[in-house]
Chains A and B, each alone.
Chain A
Amino acid sequence: MSDTLSRLGDGLVAVVKEDCPTCQLVTPVLEEVRSAGMPLTVITQDDPAFPPGLEPVDDRELEISYRLDVEAVPTLYKLSNGSIVDRRIGWNRGEWRDFTGLEELGADLPEYRPGCGSLSVEPGMPERLRLRFDDVGSTARHITVGADEDPVEACFARGWTDGLPVVPPTPERVERMLGGTRRDRNEIVTDVAPDYGECTVEKVAINAVMAGCLPECLPVVLTAVEAVCTDEFNMHGLAATTLSMGPILIVNGPIRRRIGMNSGMNVLGQGNRANATIGRALQLVVRNVGGARPGAVDRATLGSPAKYTLCFPEDEEASPWESLAAERGVAAGTSSVTVFGGESPRVVVDQQSREPESLARTFASALRTVIHPKLVLGFDAFMVIGPEHARVLSEGGWDKARLREELQKLLTLDGAELVRGAGGIAEGLPKQMADQKIPKFHPDGLWFVHAGGKAGFFSAILGGWVRGAGGTQIVTKEIRE
């Protein structure tokens, strides 16, 4: 119910536009309805002179069409007390005769003709009209960019970007983005470290717009923000560390296909909009809502290009094994995000091994050097196993558990090699550990995902940040839309 509709009075309302053959067709029908003495208001969307002779109400502003929720023209409504009682869309003689009670209506017309799209639902219009005619309840500060300033530059000048240009977050774009979730815009998602500012769904949407996300990606971004802001993940520590670490997102489940993520060739690289923008949106939230900026809280010595964006889906369909999500306890058919605090991927080449034992040794040699070859247990690691390597393992009868077991064995190291001073290297473990046998990784510190192009005997290692108290822990969250 609204004032606008109340002003139309009770009775029939027909919404038309001049640029529509069906609306042209039904003009004589509307005249018949008028002549029969029925209360009829005609609303025109584009041309105040159309239909001639029917004294149409000028709705070029589209407020009435918006309030009537018009999808196609012509639509014939029955209104009572400012509310819609019923409607008929397009021209259908039988339906219109029933609707109006006029049994001779439209005798000369064809039986049926479909309508045309309403101007109020053209691309971009729903958001624009909602902002124009309703209070959408935004609680974000609105900032006016002067006529002299380019909005793209304004975002740079205010320190909102990661160094690359962002899409200026206009109210319309944010409105469109919020269409990607059922959650209320003012719902608090979480507090975001390091400033612990309250982060609403709207704030995430604003940053998602800037990152270049499509609305269908918003649920993934929201879940990623929730996941990194858990105490276990410790985004505060991760953002502030001097090590070159950032939050890495791995997506599982049906949502990957639905939003067009790439889990194949170049999965860790550039080019796919969903992969690129979801990771970027998360980084922008941490930066803008959390307040983690380089030189301030972010004190990374070297940083990493992964801090622009690193988000990718697992290729579950081609994988010979259970997915990361399944390992992490997510039910089949549910989509999830796993977040991992880590560094840029490092490639592992092995083009010769065709036996799993041999390939595992390659992996172990490469994994040995995560963080430092003489440092152990303090860090986790993720491996992205490419399809050709995965085939070598699976054809040899190895599943993830077998691989993990073998790597643990191969990476249980002699303390004597690891202590400070050993091998002429000052770095290492305290001397008293010299006679111990110590594994490089914790039993739950090594994770595998299957992704990448079908050709190429390559995998990748993503070394992790510090684990344990004060460090980070991998977190998996289910995505709700």
Chain B
Amino acid sequence: MSEEVLLDPTNEAEPPLREPATRLGSLEGATVGLLDISKARGDVFLDHLESRLTNRQVEVLRFRKPTFSKLAPVDVRQQISERCDAVIEALAD
């Protein structure tokens, strides 16, 4: 697809960026997903994040995305959204 221009249908009171998702109040009791985007060394990086999070009593779930260039396939995204409160995606190189 090439770039396209759209006209803004709103009253333009807000900037045209999407609002980010609400952040967590704290990590306590949260389930954090670690999504490995499958560049080399991502696993080492995420393993270490996992151990630091686990030390803070955070539940950690691990996921993998097959290739870097595509968005995560539907079932991975679905699992993440069903089971996780937050996600860390690493490591783009």
The short answer to whether A and B are in direct contact, CB under 8 Å, is yes
Is there an interface contact between A140 and B7, defined as CB atoms closer than 8 Å?
yes
Q: How many Å lie between the Cα of A21 and that of B16 in the bound state?
A: 51
The answer, among B5, B9, B11, for a CB contact under 8 Å with A145, is: B5
Residue among B7, B8, B13, B16 with the highest chain A CB neighbour number at 10 A: B7
Known: A141-B16, A144-B3. A210 touches B8 (CB 8 A): no
Q: Which residues of A contact B11 (CB under 8 A)?
A: 192, 195, 197-199, 203, 288-291
Is there an interface contact between A170 and B4, defined as CB atoms closer than 8 Å?
yes
Known: A141-B16, A291-B13. A206 touches B8 (CB 8 A): yes
A223 to chain B, nearest CB (A): 19
A146: interface (CB < 8 Å): yes
Kindly count the residue-residue contacts between A and B in the assembled complex, taking CB atoms under 8 Å apart: 82
Is there an interface contact between B2 and A147, defined as CB atoms closer than 8 Å?
yes
Q: Which residues of B contact A170 (CB under 8 A)?
A: 4-7
Is there an interface contact between B13 and A142, defined as CB atoms closer than 8 Å?
no
Known: A148-B1, A158-B18. A138 touches B9 (CB 8 A): no
Q: Which residues of A contact B2 (CB under 8 A)?
A: 147
Q: How many Å lie between the Cα of A289 and that of B10 in the bound state?
A: 5
Known: A141-B16, A157-B18, A158-B16. A147 touches B1 (CB 8 A): yes
Q: Which residues of A contact B10 (CB under 8 A)?
A: 160, 197, 288-289, 291
Total number of A residues with any Cβ neighbor in B under 8 Å: 39
A207: interface (CB < 8 Å): yes
Provide the main secondary structure of the chain B interface: loop
Within 8 A of B (CB), among A145-187: 145-151, 154-155, 157-160, 168-171, 174
Is there an interface contact between B9 and A144, defined as CB atoms closer than 8 Å?
no
Is there an interface contact between A289 and B4, defined as CB atoms closer than 8 Å?
no
Q: Which residues of A contact B1 (CB under 8 A)?
A: 147-151
The answer, among B6, B12, B13, B16, for a CB contact under 8 Å with A168, is: B6
- Interface size range of chain B in the complex: 10 to 19
Known: A147-B2, A195-B13. A141 touches B18 (CB 8 A): no
Is there an interface contact between B5 and A141, defined as CB atoms closer than 8 Å?
no
Known: A158-B16, A195-B13. A141 touches B3 (CB 8 A): no
A143: interface (CB < 8 Å): yes
B77 to chain A, nearest CB (A): 14
B17 to A, closest residue via Cβ: A158
B16 to A, closest residue via Cβ: A143
A203 to B, closest residue via Cβ: B9
Residues of chain B at the chain A interface (Cβ within 8 Å):
1-13, 16, 18
Additional A-B contacts beyond A145-B5, A169-B9 (9; CB < 8 A):
A140-B8, A142-B6, A143-B7, A144-B4, A170-B7, A171-B7, A195-B11, A197-B10, A199-B11
A-B pairs, 9 with minimum CB distance: A197-B11, A141-B8, A206-B9, A288-B9, A140-B7, A288-B10, A145-B4, A206-B7, A169-B7
**Sampled A-B contacts (10; CB under 8 Å):** A138-B7, A141-B12, A142-B6, A143-B6, A145-B5, A159-B18, A168-B6, A171-B5, A197-B11, A290-B11
